[in-house]
Amino acid sequence: MFYNTGHGVPINENFSKLRKYHKLSDLPPTTHQFPKAEKEIQTLLKSTEFDKLTGVGDYEKKEDEKGG
């Protein structure tokens, strides 16, 4: 989920209501409002090799010297 959206917790109806109660937009100004930013998040995660470390994303897994 984090790799795809940049969020560790999905925005659901309860969070949306809570944000509205506090006079905030129901969606935070993140990839939920700006879906094009998802590509930027993925680029940053790839550049730090987060995708390889966590095994998410579209990286190519390569065998190590031991064949694993």
Residue reference for tokens 């730090």 = 48
Rg of the chain's alpha carbons, rounded to an integer? 16
pLDDT tens per residue across span 11-61: 889 989 999 999 999 888 888 888 888 888 888 888 998 888 888 776 555
Longest Cα separation, the chain:
56
In the numeric block, the tokens 């094009």 are attached to: 36
Per DSSP, helices labelled H in the chain are 2-5, 13-21, 37-47, 50-54
Of 39, 11, 35, nearest to 25 by C-alpha is 11
Residue 67 has pLDDT above 80, yes or no: no
The pLDDT tens digits of the residues spanning 2-17 come to 777 777 777 889 989 9
pLDDT of residue 53: 85
Query: How much is the pLDDT for 30?
Result: 84
